[in-house]
């Protein structure tokens, strides 16, 4: 087992008898390897020797023992069936509901080796981080990394069906893979259209399941404090959107979930504050990604195809016969409203991301919201844009400023803004032009 280095050097030879690196040896070696794999290392460039060690362990283990573990076999059947199903939008957006998948966790007395509970998630993080690092550095992004990550997270869910991080990561992989297929030529998009639609559908199902399993750490007081920190223009637009959506969404409108309050004191205050900040950031990112997927499903050329249904829901009638229940497809308005809900929730958890008000403004514009609301959200996005993007060759971000000016011009041309409002907008246009 000399394939892993220690501080740049190989372990000292102790004249011990070598053994084959089989499943038993991999199971015994993995706890030592796992201590070297921190979350920070998995998010960045992992050392080559560590990656080789993880690959060797997985190769020795093989697939989980589905044949000898009935819970693993059942979870695989249920989860694979769920990912192959069509989207029931009215059910999927019920984020306060408990997970409807009848999966099971391994019992404490299970004989399943502990290495199976983490090796696949670790491999998924490695492949996903490789893809993200290549995208960040504008390098060629092989789709094989995403496909490998999908396979790893998919397998991990068979072992850990209630792991929020694996459902979320699997959703991201499907969404990234769909986006990568959308940047090809028109002929390639046409040839891969059914694949792109299937990837978006699977991503939505994974996000919906992750939303039900979302970790609960925040509290109502802190959420209210985060919302009150918004600017007046944003708060007004946000409140108006909520009241407008309540009129037409009815029972399908998802309601934000209040988490159980906790009151840390003494030495726990600093730790609790750090943990809560981390929770808020991860949840804000999750809800932004969920909203971004919903908005992408509505965009051309795949507009609403992932939401299309070809069959009803099979159920047993009172007489014991199998019958099909009609499940309606969502309207474009309903999907845009749900996307807006996700962006609002992301903004309430982290008000520093300029893309959240920017995407929220695009949703409100699609919903024919008030021009003042739309412009306020775009203006808020402009205010939050960093001075430098950090990307070589793209030092400044003009996307939000361009959207604000173009939308304002459109409103002025179509007389959706009154004369008095036009006068008030002139300094705004001049300020943006000088930005």
What is the pLDDT tens value at each position of the chain, 435 positions in all? 445 554 555 566 667 777 788 888 888 888 888 887 766 666 666 777 788 888 888 888 888 899 999 999 999 999 999 999 999 999 898 888 777 789 999 888 888 888 999 999 999 998 998 888 776 655 566 788 899 999 999 999 999 999 999 999 999 999 999 998 888 778 888 888 899 999 999 999 999 999 999 887 644 433 333 333 333 333 333 333 333 333 333 333 333 333 333 444 555 555 556 778 888 999 999 999 999 999 999 988 888 899 998 888 777 777 878 888 888 899 999 999 999 999 999 999 999 999 999 999 999 999 999 999 999 999 999 999 887 665 555 567 888 899 999 999 899 888 888 756 545 555 555 454 444
Q: Determine how many CB atoms are found less than 10 A away from the CB of residue 205.
A: 23
What is residue 155's predicted lDDT score, i.e. its pLDDT?
95
Residues 225 and 207 grouped into a single domain = no
Residues 145 and 231 grouped into a single domain = no
Q: What is the pTM of this model?
A: 0.79
CA distance readout (Å), 177 to 144, 153, 187: 10, 14, 17
Alpha helices in 229-354 (DSSP H): 232-249, 268-297, 332-349
Contact in structure between 359 and 295 (CB atoms under 8 Å): yes
Per DSSP, the three-state class of 325 is strand
Residues 225 and 123 grouped into a single domain = no
H helix or E strand, kind and range, residue 322: strand 322-325
DSSP β-bridge partners for residue 322? 316
* Residue 13 placed within a domain: no
* Residue 6 placed within a domain: no
Q: Determine how many CB atoms are found less than 10 A away from the CB of residue 393.
A: 6
Residues 205 and 292 grouped into a single domain = no
* Residue 117 placed within a domain: yes
* Residue 266 placed within a domain: no
Q: Which residues, including other chains, have CB under 8 Å from residue 158's CB and lie 6 or more apart? A: 64, 66, 72, 75, 76, 79
Residues 357 and 415 grouped into a single domain = yes
Contact in structure between 162 and 99 (CB atoms under 8 Å): yes
Cα(135)–Cα(128) distance, integer angstroms: 11
Among residues 212, 233, 265, the one where a domain terminates is 212
What is residue 284's predicted lDDT score, i.e. its pLDDT?
95
Q: How many CA atoms lie within 13 A of 92 on its CB side?
A: 26
Residues 228 and 324 grouped into a single domain = yes
Residues 150 and 52 grouped into a single domain = yes
Structural domain that includes position 237: 220-252+275-433
The predicted-structure confidence for 121-134, as pLDDT tens digits, reads as follows: 999 998 998 888 77
Residues 207 and 229 grouped into a single domain = no
* Residue 313 placed within a domain: yes
Residues 292 and 420 grouped into a single domain = yes
Residues 338 and 301 grouped into a single domain = yes
The predicted-structure confidence for 54-72, as pLDDT tens digits, reads as follows: 888 888 888 889 999 999 9
Is the Cα torsion angle 150, 152, 153, 156 positive or negative in sign? Answer: positive
Q: Tokens 């509290």: give the residue.
A: 219
* Residue 258 placed within a domain: no
CATH number, position 396: 1.25.40.10
- Number of domains, the chain: 2
Torsions phi, psi for 263 (to 5 deg): -125, 85
Residues 99 and 52 grouped into a single domain = yes
Contact in structure between 49 and 4 (CB atoms under 8 Å): yes
Residues 102 and 228 grouped into a single domain = no
* Residue 202 placed within a domain: yes
Q: Tokens 């019920």: give the residue.
A: 94
* Residue 374 placed within a domain: yes
């Amino acid at each position: 087992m000399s394939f892993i280095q220690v501080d740049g050097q190989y372990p000292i030879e102790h004249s011990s008898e070598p053994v084959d690196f089989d499943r038993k040896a991999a199971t015994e070696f993995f706890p030592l390897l796992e201590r070297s794999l921190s979350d920070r290392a998995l998010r960045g460039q992992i050392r080559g020797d560590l990656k080789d060690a993880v690959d060797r362990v997985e190769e020795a283990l093989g697939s989980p023992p589905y044949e000898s573990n009935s819970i693993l076999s059942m979870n695989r059947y249920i989860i694979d069936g769920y990912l192959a199903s069509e989207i029931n939008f009215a059910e999927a957006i019920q984020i306060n509901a408990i997970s409807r998948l009848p999966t099971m966790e391994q019992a404490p007395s299970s004989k399943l080796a502990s290495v199976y509970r983490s090796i696949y998630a670790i491999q998924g993080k490695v492949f996903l981080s490789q893809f993200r690092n290549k995208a960040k550095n504008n390098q060629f992004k092989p789709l094989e990394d995403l496909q490998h990550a999908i396979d790893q997270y998919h397998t991990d869910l068979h072992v850990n069906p209630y792991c929020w991080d694996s459902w979320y990561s699997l959703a991201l992989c499907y969404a990234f893979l769909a986006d990568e297929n959308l940047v090809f030529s028109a002929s390639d998009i046409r040839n891969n259209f059914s694949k792109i639609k299937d990837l978006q559908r699977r991503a939505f199902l994974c996000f919906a399941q992750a939303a039900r399993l979302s970790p609960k750490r925040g509290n109502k007081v802190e959420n209210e404090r985060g919302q009150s920190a918004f600017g007046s223009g944003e708060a007004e637009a946000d409140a108006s959107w909520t009241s407008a959506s309540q009129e037409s969404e009815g029972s399908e409108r998802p309601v934000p979930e209040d988490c159980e309050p906790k009151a840390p004191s003494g030495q726990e205050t600093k730790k609790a504050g750090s943990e809560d900040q981390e929770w808020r950031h991860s949840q804000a990112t999750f809800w932004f990604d969920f909203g971004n997927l919903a908005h992408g499903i509505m965009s051309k050329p795949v507009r609403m195809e992932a939401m299309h249904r070809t069959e009803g829901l099979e159920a047993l009638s009172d007489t014991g016969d199998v019958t099909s229940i009609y499940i309606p497809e969502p309207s474009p308005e309903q999907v845009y409203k749900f996307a807006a809900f996700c962006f609002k929730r992301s903004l309430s958890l982290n008000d520093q991301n300029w893309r959240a008000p920017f995407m929220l403004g695009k949703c409100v514009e699609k919903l024919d919201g008030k021009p003042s609301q739309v412009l306020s959200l775009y203006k808020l996005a402009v205010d939050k844009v960093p001075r430098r993007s950090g990307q070589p060759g793209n030092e400044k971000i003009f996307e939000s400023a361009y959207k604000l000016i173009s939308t304002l011009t459109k409103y002025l041309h179509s007389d959706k803004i009154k004369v008095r409002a036009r006068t008030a907008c002139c300094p705004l246009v001049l300020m943006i032009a000088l930005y």
